[in-house]
Every structure is written in C-alpha cells, then in structure tokens.
Amino acid sequence: KIEKTWWKEAVVYQIYPRSFKDSNGDGIGDLQGIISKLDYIKSLGIDVVWLNPVYSSPNDDNGYDISDYQNIMSEFGTMEDFDELLKGMHERGIKLVMDLVVNHSSDEHFWFKESRKSRENPYRDYYHWVNAEDGKPAPRWSFFDPEGDAWKYDEATNAYYLHYFSQKQPDLKWENPKLRHEIYDMMHYWFKKGIDGFRMDVITFISKDLSYPPIPEKYQGKMWDYFYASGERLHEYLHEMNREVLSKYDIMSVAEGPGTSIENVLDFVDADRNELNMSYHFDHAYLGLLPRKVAAEEGWKLVDLKAIFTRWDKALAEKGWGTIYFGNHDQPRMVSRWGNDSPEWRALSSKMLTTFLLSMRGTPYYYQGDEIGMSNIKFDTIEDYRDIETINWYNLTKKEGGDLEQFLSSHKITARDNGRTPIQWDNSSNGGFSNTTPWIKVNPNYETVNVANQENDPDSVLNYFRKITKLRKLNPVLIYGKYTLLDQDNPDTYCYTRELDDTKVVVMLNFKPKKALVDLGINISKTEILISNYNETITQKSNGEIVLNPFHAVILELN
C-alpha cells in the first residue's frame, strides 16, 4: 500500500557545521572541515545529510538569521567550498538536504534594510509592519525576544514589525506574492546546483492574518506553536511552492512542524495533496518539560513516550510518512535526555536509543555526535552558554525574580547548547575539533568519548551505529513493516513488532538501568538475533517471560 521512495528508505544524518570540524583554526567548524570528514560520514552507512544553515548571517541565532540566501557564511567558507562539498557527497552516493529558513530573514538582509527605510519603500511589504498611530497590535509571543514580545517598535518609520524569534529575525510576509516568488527563485537556484532537498524551518508559521487579531479563544492556554501554525493560507502557500518548485525535482522535503498534530499532519504530508513529504513534531520533545524548558520534578514516563510514537505511527500508517528523532541542534543530547549518561550506562543506553531510532517506521533523523554517544555538557554558569534562547530566558527569569538555580539545573538537562558542543574526534586538545579554543566549550569527556577511540573497538557505540544502518538497509521490514506496540503498560520496556509480508521481527528495549521482565507471548527458541547491544544470548523463563538486561536492546527475527 505504501509507495516506495528513496527518502523513506534513507537514514538522515544531521550536521551542525559550527560544531563539526574546524579546518582553519578559528575555533568555528566550517565546510572544509566537513569535506575533510566525508569518508567518515560515508562510513556511517547513512544516505542523506541534512546541513544546518550555511548561508550569510550575522549569527544572532547561529545561522537561522539569514542576510543572503544565495551566499555562504564567511565563517564557514565560500561558494566554491560548498560546491566541493556537494560534489564530494554525490561522489560518495550521499544526498544533501539544506535548511530553508523563510519564515523570517535577518534584519541585515537587503530586503529588511530597504523595508525599514520608509513606508513607501518597494520592499515595505516584504515584512509585517503596523503603523504606530494605529496602536500596538494584539500581543504576540516571541521565542527569543528579551521581553518575549514579538512586536518591535522601529523609530525610522514609527511602526512595529513582527518577529516570532529574535529582534534580528523579522518575519517575512508570505501574503505578498512578490516575496513568495523571490523565495521560489532562490529555491530553484539551490536545486539547480543539485541539492537533494530542504528541511523547512518553522514552515508551519508562515501564514499570518494581516488584521493581527487577538489570539482566538481556542488557542488560549495552549502553546503558541498551535496558533502560529494555524494560518489560514498555510496550505495554499505550500501547495503553490510544491507546484512552482518542489514538483520539478527529485528531491525530499521535510517540515519542521511545531504545531503539527496527529489530527492535522496529513494535510502536510498526504502525497495526494502535493505539499511536503515529511514533517517532524515536538510531542516527545516537550515531554516532562515546563515552560522555558524547566524540567518537571516528576520527570517523564516511558508509557507516555510509547503512546506518542504509537499514535503518530497510526496517524501515518495508511498515508503520508513519518520521521523519527531524538536529537537535533534544538535538543539536548539524546543519551542525557532519554537514556543515562553516567559512565556505567552511557554506551549501552546510547546503543539502545539508536536501536529504537533505526527500527521504527518513519525516516530516522540522526544527529551528529550521537553515533559516539556524546552527552550533555551541563554548564554550571550562564557565561558558558552561547544560545540566545537560554540566555534570554535566564535574563527574563532573573528580571522576574524567578528561581535561577532551578533554571540552571534544568538547563543542564534541556538546553540546546548541550547538543551543540564540538564533535569529539580524538583525545588531543579540544577533542581534535580545532587547534584553538572553540566557540563553545568541548565536553571534557572527550578524552575517553571520541571517534578515534571507537573506530577500532568492535563493541563501540560508533560501530554499533554502522552495524544497524546496514541492518536496516538489508531488512525492508525495518523500513516498511507494520508497527505493533506490545506490552503497552510496561513502565520500563518498549517492545514492538514490525511485519512485512512473511517477515516478522520483534524489538525489545529496556529503558531502565535494571533488569526487566517482559511477557510477549513469543517463544524465542525459534528466533534469530539480528542485533543486540549485549553479546550474551537472551534467556526466557519457563513461564515465558524474557529477561532483559539493563538498557538491553535486541531485535529478533521470528521464524
């Protein structure tokens, strides 16, 4: 029933260039750094690289504030470097997906510089302006504004402009067809160069009601994401983008989908609607978190995590296609958030989480560094943070007289910078990332946790990842097979089957640092272990219960 395509079968590996590899000794990762590691990337067995923004940017938000969409950020290199990178990937059979950041630009983009000059400027209508004499429009919340206010007063023309993110990230006005066509032209430029797709930053937010009304009753008390993603013309724009650009190339598209839910996701990814291929949601990312990413005291529950992935699988079982991820540049390290990063369990639980990501239905998006089990750096002071999100929320909390200690201790678990520390290549200074002090601190565990160490260890997290990417490729059941959750109320384990034609596998994962028993009604004497993070065979008691070791992960083929 499900139509086969390359992007459903792909494993996506995400590269955050600033932290991947510095080639020229300025402490900042760059394109030549990535080029120098292409053979390593290839060795992982991944198919697609998603590259975070590399466009010209003043870096108020690490490249998510773009001042020129058709140029390369000088810190990262040149367009020649980019062309070399793309060629190097294609020669190795790796596809390249770029970030498309078009809900907003930088305030240093030519369009905005013009737009703010006068009310009559030809670019005025590229952004959302409200004249001050008409009064300040109804409140909108900003993710990265020091006051949390998305309307910023601009003296030059006595008007407010809208910015859902930082003051240096004014929102583009998609209601203006001229702006839309500028964006489509820019997309054609990159596709003609040969890139293989776009990951579309907060693409769910692009449609706005130009009367800027107060937030409707039904969105009150919910996360802003849902309101921001509810713009009336959103699907008209995506449809138009598909018709004008996406449909003309063999590429993949994936929405960063804040505000998407199991109820509306098919509007984006049902192939018959001709919009996008995939979308990724935040349901699990928010699990156990209070506003400003303060960690809830009671933590998170595995049954809730299972329920989220299970209902998303169901929503996309017949139509569309899902995505599976734990880590990315907006998330803490997966092993710290969902596993256990103590020296005793870090490697085992990393492999367990990797087993989950690579054995679910949906395209896995795997974040750089997770393949060696990198963990949260857990900064003690605000001075170590570089992320505008953390710094703003810290200042807001301070101004309100809030609990700064609680904020800092929570952010050791939740802050985005935990996932942005440099890749640990070896045990030389700065983890082999750079020969100078990097832009953000290197996790001190680089001395033991690094690529070089793991290359030659057959049991390393790294070699486990290589093994499982291969396994997924060899077993279509892991890609297309039907997913069924087993033992749903078990608070410690996550077990499910995948079935395709006459092949059936069972995946058993123990999310806890203690032994667990599962009763799945399976006789394992007639099964074959496809992969496991323990060398020993598994035991089944006479009553049928299977014994899982701490953080055990095993995939069995049932014959």
Q: How far is CA 366 from CA 98, 436, 450, in A?
A: 15, 28, 17
Binding Ca ion (rule: CB under 5 A), the pick from 20, 30, 278, 394 is: 30
Active-site residue, selected from the candidate residues 256, 341, 370, 387: 256
Can you tell me the distance from the alpha carbon of 298 to that of 290, in angstroms, rounded to the nearest whole number? 11
224 binds, among Ca ion, ligand ISL, none (CB under 5 to 8 A by kind): none
Query: Within 90-109, which residues bind ligand ISL (CB under 6 A)?
Result: 101
Backbone angles phi, psi at 64, to 5 degrees: -85, 10
Q: Based on the shown chain and the rule CB under 6 A, indicate whether residue 61 belongs to the binding site for ligand ISL.
A: yes
Amino acid at 309: F
Active site residue 275: no
Which of ligand ISL, Ca ion, none does residue 22 bind to, with CB < 5 to 8 Å depending on kind?
Ca ion
**Contact status: 69 vs ligand ISL (CB under 6 A):** no
201, 341, 387, 492: the catalytic one is: 201
Picking from 216, 212, 207, the residue whose alpha carbon sits closest to that of residue 134 is 212
Out of ligand ISL, Ca ion, none, which partner does residue 258 contact, by CB within 5 to 8 A per kind?
ligand ISL
419 scored as a contact of ligand ISL (CB under 6 A): no
Asked if 201 interacts with ligand ISL (CB under 6 A), we say: yes
Among the listed residues 28, 66, 324, 548, the single contact to Ca ion using CB under 5 A: 28
| Minimum CB–partner distance for residue 201 and ligand ISL (Å) | 5
- Pick what 202 binds: Ca ion, ligand ISL, none; C-beta below 5 to 8 Å, kind-dependent: ligand ISL
Q: Is 165 in the site for ligand ISL (CB under 6 A)?
A: yes
Task: Identify the H or E element spanning 43.
Answer: helix 38-43
- Least distance between ligand ISL and beta carbon 414 (Å): 8
Torsion of CA 152, 153, 159, 163, to 10 degrees: -10
| Terminal alpha carbon distance of the chain | 24
Nearest CA-CA partner of 208 in 276, 311, 127: 127
Which residues have a Cβ under 8 Å from the Cβ of 17 and sit 6 or more positions away? 29, 30, 31, 33, 34, 51, 52, 54, 76
Is the distance from CB of 189 to CB of 72 less than 8 angstroms?
no
Largest Cα span, the chain: 81
Q: Is residue 202 at the binding interface for ligand ISL, with CB under 6 A as the rule?
A: yes
State the nearest-atom distance from the C-beta of 248 to ligand ISL, in Å.
26
Question: Binding string to Ca ion for residues 195 to 234, with x set by CB under 5 A, is what?
Answer: ----------------------------------------
Count of CB atoms within 10 A of residue 341's CB?
22
Q: Which does 76 bind (CB under 5 to 8 A by kind): Ca ion, ligand ISL, none?
A: none
Per-residue tokens: 410: 């929570």
Binding partner of residue 377 among Ca ion, ligand ISL, none, CB cut-off 5 to 8 Å per kind:
none
The answer to whether residue 24 forms part of the interface with Ca ion (CB under 5 A) is yes
Q: Which is nearer to ligand ISL, 420 or 472 (CB)?
A: 420
DSSP of 326-389, one letter per residue? S--TTS--HHHHHS--STTTHHHHHHHHHHHHTTSSSEEEEETTGGGT------SSGGG---HH
Residue 62 or 540: the one with the smaller Cβ distance to ligand ISL is: 62
Distance CA 173, CA 157 (A): 18
**Nearest-angstrom CA–CA distance, 173 and 125:** 7
Question: Per CB under 5 A, which region of 30-38, 116-124, 173-181, 480-488 contacts Ca ion?
Answer: 30-38
Chain length of the chain: 559
Should residue 417 be labelled a site residue for ligand ISL when binding is judged by CB under 6 A? no
CB closer to ligand ISL, 296 vs 529: 296
Q: How many residues bind ligand ISL (CB under 6 A)?
A: 13
Measured from the CB atom, the residue of 269 and 509 that comes closer to ligand ISL is 269
> SS3 string of 178-217?
HHHHHHHHHHHHHHHHCCCEEEECCHHHCCCCCCCCCCCH
R_g over Cα of the chain = 23
Q: How many CB atoms are located within 10 Å of the residue 308 CB?
A: 17
Which positions lie near Ca ion, rule CB under 5 A?
A: 22, 24, 26, 28, 30
The catalytic site residues sit at 201, 256
Which positions lie near ligand ISL, rule CB under 6 A?
A: 61, 64, 101, 143, 165, 201-202, 256, 258, 329-330, 389, 416
